[in-house]
Structure 1
């Protein structure tokens, strides 16, 4: 009985280490990204996951309208925003 317990403990220990080194930090980062996307406001300068830089012109439930440098308005899903460059 103690032999099986001794062989299971390293497996459990590996799972715990895997959780704290990989899973938990990924969950924290995902929560931060979701919070950033929820806190978007008109006038924020953002970068999309495709690399487009623009200013938030309008915000709907699940989408945003960005104005790019030449004045073109483009509509994106809110989840396509990678980062907010600076807040106005």
Structure 2
């Protein structure tokens, strides 16, 4: 008989698996809720406002493009606009590249 034969029966039975602890999941849920209300929701609101602004563009509107160019809308298409960045200089751009619609007369005063 060896020492290991004596120790073997002394081992304790394996512990039962612990129950799932919902408290460990709570911080993740709180972080997700904070991200939603501080990052995702405001971004969705800005995107909706931008889409409404772009959909409302008309010929003659003065705009600022994504590249910072001031331009006047001369033709409105489904996905593209033709803008005039200076006299007799038309440029075709995507509707989504419009950053801001300016008040009338802004280009003349610039």
Q: Which has the higher contact order (CA 8 A, sep 6+)?
A: 1
TM-score with structure 2 length normalisation? 0.72
Residue 50 of structure 1 aligns with which residue?
A: 67
Deviation digits for residues 25-75 of structure 1 (CA, Å, limit 9, x no counterpart)? 001101111111111011100011011111001101111111123331111
Larger-Rg structure? 2
Q: Which of 61-70 and 43-52 deviates more?
A: 61-70
Give every structure 1 segment of 4 or more consecutive aligned residues whose post-TM-superposition deviation is greater than 2 Å: none
Between the aligned partners of 2:85 and 2:22, the Cα distance in structure 1 is: 62
Give the counterpart of 2:34 among 17, 25, 28: 17
C-alpha RMSD of matched pairs (Å): 1.6
Residue 13 of structure 2 aligns with which residue?
A: none
Q: Which of 71-80 and 43-52 deviates more?
A: 71-80
Between the aligned partners of 2:77 and 2:43, the Cα distance in structure 1 is: 27
Residues 1-88 of structure 1 correspond to what in structure 2 (within 5 A)?
1=19, 4-86=21-103
Shift of 1:9: 1.1
